[in-house]
Amino acid sequence: MDMASTSGNDCQDIIVRPLVLTVDDNEDNLALLNQVLIIIGCSFVSSKDGHSAILVAQKYQPDLILLDIMLPDLDGMEVVRQLKQDPKTRQIPIVAVTAMARTEDHDRILAVGCDGYIKKPYMIDELEATIRRFLFGV
């Protein structure tokens, strides 16, 4: 996890930034998500497929997961199922970031255990507001 420290007169303040796992098989989508997280002041780890996303989530236990649903190996819904079954990762909020935009897709994604849903293409301020809501309650 990224940690930055600043020095005061006689003390040192440590600022711990929230850690977000971004999962998308498309490099451009991943870069955009990560850039938004940098602007918000978050640390991030990234994964390009479902299997590694599960391993990274178990290892780092991020504060939030932004998950594409259409992945090359395990689909995002199976990733969610596995994460929600694991006691180490079941409490991590997961937001689907997906092009699956039909009402029935939205309902299935939330039913499987996602805590939020953003459809692609998304507006940056919508993404930022969703991230802030899950990480900072605003």
Q: Please report whether residue 121 resides in a domain.
A: yes
β-pairing, 12-16 with 3-7?
A: antiparallel
CATH number at residue 90: 3.40.50.2300
Least confident of 63-67, 101-105, 110-114: 101-105
Q: What sign results for the dihedral spanned by CA atoms 56, 57, 59, 61?
A: positive
- Confidence at residue 12, expressed as pLDDT on a 0 to 100 scale: 56
Pairing of strands 19-23, 43-47: parallel
Q: Which residue segment(s) compose the domain that 80 sits in? A: 17-136
Note whether residue 5 is domain-resident: no
Pair of tokens at residue 109: 């994604």
Distance between CA atoms of residues 42 and 63, nearest Å: 10
When pLDDT is averaged across residues 20-40 and rounded to a whole number, the result is 97
What's the domain count of the chain? Answer: 1
Residues 100, 123: Cα–Cα separation, whole Å: 16
Look at 8-22, 41-55, 117-131 and tell me which has the smallest mean pLDDT.
Answer: 8-22
Bridge partners of residue 46, in order along the sequence:
22
